[in-house]
């Protein structure tokens, strides 16, 4: 399927599954190397990161834990810049090596807020793994060690990412071609 319709919008395929999985493997290899012996706790940010998290975790070979949190700031196709509270973190992260697993970093405001909330609980170190990064949109300085892929500013869906709740189920990533 090279084009799809999600609600009223048309999208064209931009990153096929095979390319995504190659990029995910690269991130997993780097984490397996860098965090060996640290027993990291992966914190997957729902909902968007669920598919990335599943594929990433299958490729992590060092002892680790995974947990799921929620913190959303996005409605429709443009970031509101508003952030909500952190939900679902029922584990003590004090002294732990934490890896945030996110679907996409756009302005970076969500990630900045999340880092702030996590730092208050005194983890030993926090790393960021994001499937996608829109470098031209980044508004705040962030140290992102593990960005699987960089993309232009266009709105995308698929592989966990949605448009108004729909489109998360596609295995490939699609870019909007009509408004
Ligand atoms: P930020 O706070 O970095 O501006 O926004 C991050 C959040 O916005 C992501 O976690 C994601 O939910 C959403 N987002 C940003 N760009 C896109 C996009 O192109 N497609 C979709 N579906 N969500 C996006």
106 is catalytic: yes
Whether residue 1 is predicted with pLDDT greater than 80 in this model: the reply is no
**pLDDT for 72:** 57
Picking from 135, 172, 128, 171, the residue whose alpha carbon sits closest to that of residue 150 is 135
Burial environment of residue 158 by CB neighbours within 10 A (0 to 12, 13 to 18, 19 or more): buried
Q: 34, 55, 103, 106: which is the annotated catalytic residue?
A: 106
Mutation test of ligand 1: which of 79, 167, 168, 172 has the most ligand atoms closer than 8 Å to its C-beta? 79
pLDDT at res. 78:
55
73 lines ligand 1 (CB under 6 A): yes
Kindly indicate whether the domain formed by 19-72+82-154 is annotated with CATH number 3.30.499.10: no
Across 92-120, average pLDDT: 96
Asked whether 50 lines ligand 1 (CB < 6 A), one says: no
Alpha helices in 1-151 (DSSP H): 17-34, 50-57, 109-119
| pLDDT tens-digit readout, 10-37 | 999 999 999 999 999 999 999 999 999 9
- Cβ atoms 111, 102 nearer than 8 A: yes
Pocket test for ligand 1, best of 14, 71, 104, 166 (most atoms within 8 A of CB): 104
The CA-atom distances, in angstroms, between 118 and each of 26, 41, 62, 100 are 26, 12, 23, 10
Residues 39-54 have pLDDT tens digits of 999 999 999 999 999 9
Closest ligand 1 atom to Cα of 110: 2
Return the domain boundaries, the chain: 19-72+82-154
Q: How far apart are CA 148 and CA 130, in angstroms?
A: 6
pLDDT tens digits along 52-100:
999 999 999 999 999 999 985 545 555 555 656 788 898 999 999 999 9
pLDDT reading at 179 higher than 90: no
Q: Please answer whether residues 63 and 6 qualify as being in contact, where contact means their C-beta atoms are separated by less than 8 angstroms.
A: no
Mean pLDDT of 130-156: 96
Q: What is the mean pLDDT of residues 168-175?
A: 98
Q: Point out the ligand 1 atom lying closest to the alpha carbon of residue 161.
A: 22
CA torsion 146-112-153-104 (nearest 10°) is: 50
């Amino acid at each position: 399927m090279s084009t799809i319709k999600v609600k009223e919008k048309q999208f064209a395929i931009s990153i096929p599954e095979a390319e995504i999985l190659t990029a995910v493997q690269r991130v997993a290899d780097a984490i397996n190397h860098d965090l060996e012996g640290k027993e990291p706790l992966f914190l997957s940010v729902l909902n968007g990161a669920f598919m990335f998290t599943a594929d990433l975790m299958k490729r992590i070979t060092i002892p680790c834990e995974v947990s799921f949190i929620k913190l959303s700031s996005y409605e429709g196709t443009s970031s509101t810049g508003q952030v909500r509270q952190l939900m679902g973190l029922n584990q003590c992260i004090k002294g732990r090596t934490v890896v945030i697993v996110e679907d996409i970093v756009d302005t970076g405001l969500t990630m900045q807020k999340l880092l702030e909330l996590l730092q208050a609980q005194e983890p030993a170190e926090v790393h960021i793994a994001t499937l996608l990064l829109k470098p031209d949109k980044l508004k705040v300085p962030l140290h992102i060690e593990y960005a699987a892929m960089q993309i232009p500013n266009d709105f995308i869906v698929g592989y966990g990412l949605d448009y108004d709740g729909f489109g998360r189920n596609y295995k490939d990533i699609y870019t909007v071609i009509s408004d």
